[in-house]
Amino acid sequence: MPPQHRLRLAALAPALALAITLHAGLAHAEPDTATEPVATEPTPPVEPTPPSTGDDERARTEALERRVEALEAELKRLAEASAKSDAQTPRAAKPAQSAPTPKSTRTRAPQASSGDSSDNRTPDYAEGFHFGSYGRVVAGGDHRGRAGRDGDIVSFGSRLDESNYAELELRREDYWEETDSYTRIVATAAVANPMFHYSGVFAAKLAMRNLYIEESGLGAKHLKVWAGSRMYRGDDIYVLNFWPLDNLNTLGGGLSYEFIPNLVLKLHTGVNQPDNGLFGQDVARPRPLGQIGSQNVRITDRQKSISSIKLSHIFAVGKQGGIKPVVYGELHYMPKAQRERETQQYESLPDDVGFLVGTQLGLFTGKRSTHLNLVFRYAGGLAAYGEFNAPSRLAPDRTSKGAREIIGALSGNYEVGPFGLLLGSYVRSFRNASPGLDVDDLGEGIVLVRPTVWFGKIAGLSLEGSYQAQRRGVLLRQPDGSNKPQFGQLGRIGLVPFLTPAGRGNYARPHIRVLYLLTMRDAGARRLYPADDIYAIRKVDHFFGLGAEWWFGSTSYFRD
């Protein structure tokens, strides 16, 4: 952005510094990210009324005045929130940041199904560079000294024994006076296990989870447009590390429009290419023009295109509470292609299509993140396999026709006084496209509860209990001569004492914590592992760990 186009607010620096100080103090305990935890969050505030677009100095002055007013209103709100928060949880003072936050002039309903506190608010637009992060690091192992390992048998189980992961988000945000619009450029780098201090290998398993630009208010005040590479998703079940309704990872773009306050339509389309021979096939060919050697040629090179639509609205209930219904759909498509079976012998691959429909009903009180979310979704064909997966066990016509996935999920949070209770549960039924049942056809479910008690404002203790079960589409011979489907069950009990400098709240972070997790597998659960796998042997497992988890200032939990 040319410097001359940038709004300068030097005169407002003292007020802004205070505002940012307060905001930073509130924002450091926000929920997280990608494959990472996010409770249902408030939608970001609507930007201020745009100034007139004329070139005259008067219009500029008016625009500045409107922004100052908006900033003053924000300052007042933040000061009130701070005072309220200070009454509950003392916070460390943060250094001043640089810019004010645009605010909507609309009257808004309560902001989200679960967020009743600014702890969980998304970062507002503020000019300059910003940093956010989610992370978890754990040092631990089992009772015999083996490294820690995820012990769940369902697709999404307890996250207590998940391995190290962190996102480092750098963001650039600008307000454009010329167009009264905002730009946000987001780059989120993520690192996964193993860590250097664990393996001694000076390397990182690195991925870019976000790399996109979002324009807000450009051309239409309530319009947002984005393009790039983006995690694009809705509400999660934190304790299961699971986004039950929508969770897309594509290269593409989208837009959202708020027709009336809190009635938002989101459209998105994107592509990806799973790392699978059904999508890409490289074969060696002689180098051209008579040169020596070979080079790879991409014979199969097709992409999966995924489009989504989401309509959500928040109906206010009382002063802070609300009801948030969501309807959602996806369309998946991949074109026909060909691949090489034998050398220079080709076969055709048909095009394929899938769809997904889902709905969510969220209820929230607006107080201490108390909420309850109910989700149902149905996916068919290509969509049943998920956006990053290649379809497998295909139908006779080599499409994913006939595959389907059904998910029902219930999650929530309740906090009162020094007590809190998190709930995560779902049931899932999956059938692949091949006729008949096979080992990949399954039904599974989990119920997980995590009660917590806080000791004062600096520490707490969580218990976690879960029951999970999975049935697969293979029959096992029984002693009585009958055949029954493979069925495994697993129970887990966890104990998590933690330090919480951000104070009370199931979504308050950071945490420094000690982990203990007892896992009990029945014979069916053990059968899911190959011979000599320790989980095929052990009925009972103990996991001990010492770790940390944090989140702050990241867009990954934005809902747009």
Partner 1 sequence: MTNTHPTLSRLLATLGLAVGTGGGCMDFGDAEEPLALQTHVDDWRDEVIYQVLVDRFANGDVSNDFGVRYDDLARYQGGDWRGLRQRLDYLQQLGVTTLWISPIIRNVETDANVDGYHGYWAQDLTQLNAHFGDITELRALVDDAHARDMKIVVDIVTNHVGQAFYYDLNLNGAPDINFQGNGSPMNPTRHYTEYDPDFDPRGVQAFTSLGEAGPAPIVFQYDPATGHIPPNPALLRDPAAYNRKGRTYDFDDPDQLLHGDFPGGLKDLDTSRCDVKQLLVDVFVTWVEQTDIDGFRIDTVKHVEYAFWRFFTQRVRARLAERGKHNFLMFGEVFDGRDALLGSFTRHDILGTGDLAAALGRPGPVDPSDEEQLAAEAECVTDGVPLRGDQLDSVFYFSQHFQAVRDVFQQSQSTDRIEALWTARATNWGDTPNEDGIGVAPRDMPINFLDNHDVPRFLYNVRDRDAQTQRKLLHNAIALQFTAQGVPCIYYGTEQGLAGGNDPANRERLWDTGFDVTHPTFAWVQKLAGLRAKYRSLRRGGLQVLWSTTAVADEADAGIFAFERLGGDGGGSYAVVVFNTNATKASTTRTETRDMVVTAPAGTVLVDVLGGGGDAVTVGDGGVLEVTVPALSAMVLVPQAEVD
Chain residues in the site for partner 1 (CB under 8 A): 284-287, 290-295, 343-344
- Amino acid residing at 92: A
The C-alpha atoms of residue 304 and residue 322 are separated, in whole angstroms, by 37
d(CA 431, CA 446) in angstroms, rounded, equals: 18
Q: Which two tokens stand for residue 310?
A: 């989401």
* Cα-based distances in Å from 352 to 339, 402, 433: 15, 11, 12
Nearer to partner 1, 129 or 346 (CB): 346
Question: Shortest approach of partner 1 to residue 111 CB, angstroms?
Answer: 59
- We find the least distance from the C-beta atom of residue 288 to partner 1, in angstroms, to be 11
Kindly report the number of other CB atoms within 10 A of residue 80's CB atom: 11
Beta carbon nearer to partner 1, 345 or 348: 345
Minimal distance, residue 277 CB to partner 1, in Å: 18
- Dist CA 275 CA 114 (whole Å): 36
What sign does the dihedral 143-144-149-151 (CA atoms) show?
negative
Nearer to partner 1, 295 or 338 (CB): 295
Q: What single DSSP character describes residue 435?
A: S
Cβ distance to partner 1 smaller for residue 200 or 290:
290
Task: Output the CA–CA distances (angstroms, integers) from residue 90 to 37, 236, 498, in the order listed.
Answer: 24, 28, 18
Q: Helix/strand/coil (H, E, C) string of 226-261?
A: EEEEEEEECCCEHHHCECCCCEEEEEEEEEEEEEEC
CB of 340 to partner 1, least distance (A): 10
CB of 300 to partner 1, least distance (A): 17
Strands (E), 369-438: 371-381, 404-416, 419-431
Shortest distance in whole angstroms from residue 276 CB to partner 1: 23
Taking the complex as a whole, how short is the minimal distance between the CB of residue 348 and partner 1, in angstroms?
21
Length of the chain (residues):
560
Shortest spacing between CB 349 and partner 1, in angstroms: 21
Residue 275 CB, nearest approach to partner 1 (Å): 23
User: What is the C-alpha to C-alpha distance for residues 552 and 122, in angstroms, rounded to an integer?
Assistant: 9
The smaller minimum CB distance to partner 1, of residues 203 and 292, is found at 292
Residue 44 CA, chain-centre distance (Å), reads: 16
Non-local (6+) Cβ contacts of 152 within 8 A are: 158, 161, 446, 468, 490, 492
Which residue lies nearer to partner 1 by CB, 300 or 555? 300
CB of 284 to partner 1, least distance (A): 5
Query: What does the buried/exposed string (b/e) look like for 314-338 if buried means 16 or more CB atoms within 10 Å of the residue's CB?
Result: bebeeeebbbbebebbbbbbbeebe
> What's the min distance (Å) between Cβ of 302 and partner 1?
24
- Cβ proximity to partner 1, 76 vs 287, nearer residue: 287
Question: In angstroms, what is the minimal distance from the CB of 298 to partner 1?
Answer: 15
Q: Shortest Cβ distance from residue 283 to partner 1 (Å)? A: 9
Q: What are phi and psi of 33, to 5 degrees?
A: -140, -160
Q: Are 214 and 184 in contact (CB under 8 A)?
A: yes
Measured from the CB atom, the residue of 61 and 294 that comes closer to partner 1 is 294
Given CA atoms 194, 158, 446, 146 in this order, what sign does their dihedral have? positive
B/e letters for 95-112, b = 16+ CB within 10 Å, e = fewer, are ebbebbbbbbeeebbbbb
Task: Report the Cα 209 to chain-centroid distance in Å.
Answer: 11
| Cα separation of the two ends of the chain | 24
Q: How far apart are CA 400 and CA 298, in angstroms?
A: 23
Which residue, 291 or 478, is less far from partner 1 as judged by CB? Answer: 291
Which is nearer to partner 1, 200 or 293 (by Cβ)? 293
Comparison of 208 and 284: residue with beta carbon closer to partner 1: 284
CB-based contact 41:558 (threshold 8 Å): yes
The residue among 293 and 417 lying less far from partner 1, judged by its C-beta, is: 293
Of 143 and 287, CB closest to partner 1: 287
